[in-house]
Amino acid sequence: MWTRLIGLIAMLLAVLLFSPVLHAQTAGQSQQADARTPVPVHDFSGVWYGPLELNYVPASVTMQPWAAAKFNSERTQYKVGDRPFVKDTTNTDPILHCDPVSIPRIYWSIHPFEIIQIPGRILMYFEEFHTIREIWMDGRGLPKDPEPTWLGYSVGRWDGNDLVIETAGFNDKTWLDSVGHPHSEALHLTERFHRVDHDAMELTLTFDDPKAYTTRWSYGPKTMKLKPGWEIGELFCTLEDQKNFEKSVMDLANKP
């Protein structure tokens, strides 16, 4: 699994020399949607794969002073504006230290995820770090003062055939994306999943974090593809694997 991951990172770093945004390659893999196939009603179950995105915070969005200072202090293998990329172990990306990957950053990784629907709940099973997310679908509202956690507290509802998820109660230890945009514990995230057809859905994200950003902002819609026959692999983050992974990332970044 780590070998596949490192190979994909090598491809990513090569493409980054020419473009700040990479879309997952789907040529030869995507299936033509049959227009005669009905769109499932209130059913998003299956394995999904979305486009790889490194930096999706619009340039027009202004950070609060502390958030801007924190963002400018981060160091990654990706160049953003005047902030240089690093070629050594000063990389500050939390996932290089086995920290959980945040919602929604985990959607735009090189790994698929599975939606599993059971009575009263929806589970999202991400291949990256073998992460499981729980969304309550039993009519409850968000708690007024949830205990901050890595993935937050999520409740969902149906709006027509769209799935709408509200999440609050995040801790402030994760990044929104791969280039280091921060958020505070006040982040309220709204996700809207819209089924375009049997084989595709669109995801739109709305961020409301007044402590970190001066305005409420949205991203999307971005299309994700259903992948019949795909299975979620095992990819845990262990200290030994993390050290090997970090070394591989740095070796790739240091190549001329």
Q: Evaluate the omega torsion of the peptide bond into residue 100 and state whether it is cis, within 30 degrees of 0.
A: no
Of the listed ranges 35-39, 59-63, 169-173, 238-242, the one predicted with least confidence: 238-242
- Six-digit token string for 211: 């402590």
- Please enumerate in sequence order all residues whose Cβ is within 8 A of that of 233, keeping only pairs 6 or more positions apart, or say none: 1, 127
CB-CB neighbours of 43 under 10 Å: 12
Which of 161, 116, 121 lies closest to 139 in space, CA to CA? Answer: 121
Residue 31 or 88, more confident: 88
Residue 239 burial class via C-beta count within 10 angstroms: exposed 0-12, middle 13-18, buried 19 and up: exposed
Average pLDDT over residues 245-255: 60
Does residue 35 surpass a pLDDT of 90?
no
Q: Distance between CA atoms of 158 and 137, rounded to whole angstroms?
A: 9
Q: What is the pLDDT of residues 97-153, one digit of tens each?
A: 889 999 999 999 889 999 999 999 999 999 999 999 999 999 999 999 999 999 999
Q: Distance between CA atoms of 242 and 129, rounded to whole angstroms?
A: 11
Residue 77 or 69, more confident: 69
Q: What is the pLDDT of residues 39-72, one digit of tens each?
A: 999 999 999 999 989 998 998 999 999 999 999 9
The residue assigned the tokens 């690093």 is 86
Does residue 22 surpass a pLDDT of 90?
no
Residue pair 84/73 in contact (Cβ under 8 Å)? The answer is no
Q: How confident is the model at residue 243 (pLDDT cuts 50, 70, 90)?
A: low
Q: Which helix (H) or strand (E) holds 243?
A: helix 239-254
Q: Distance between CA atoms of 159 and 195, rounded to whole angstroms?
A: 12
Average pLDDT over residues 73-80: 89
The residue assigned the tokens 């990329």 is 85
* Three-state secondary structure call for residue 165: strand
Domain 43-237 architecture: Beta Barrel (2.40)
Q: How confident is the model at residue 27 (pLDDT cuts 50, 70, 90)?
A: very low
What's the mean per-residue pLDDT of the chain? Answer: 84
Average pLDDT over residues 190-213: 98
Residue 209 burial class via C-beta count within 10 angstroms: exposed 0-12, middle 13-18, buried 19 and up: buried
Strands (E) in the chain, as ranges, are 46-49, 113-118, 121-126, 131-136, 153-159, 162-168, 188-197, 200-208, 217-226
Does residue 158 surpass a pLDDT of 70?
yes
- pLDDT confidence of residue 165: 98
Q: Distance between CA atoms of 57 and 55, rounded to whole angstroms?
A: 6
Average pLDDT over residues 198-212: 98
How far separated are the first and last CA of the chain, in Å rounded?
26
Residue 93 or 88, more confident: 93
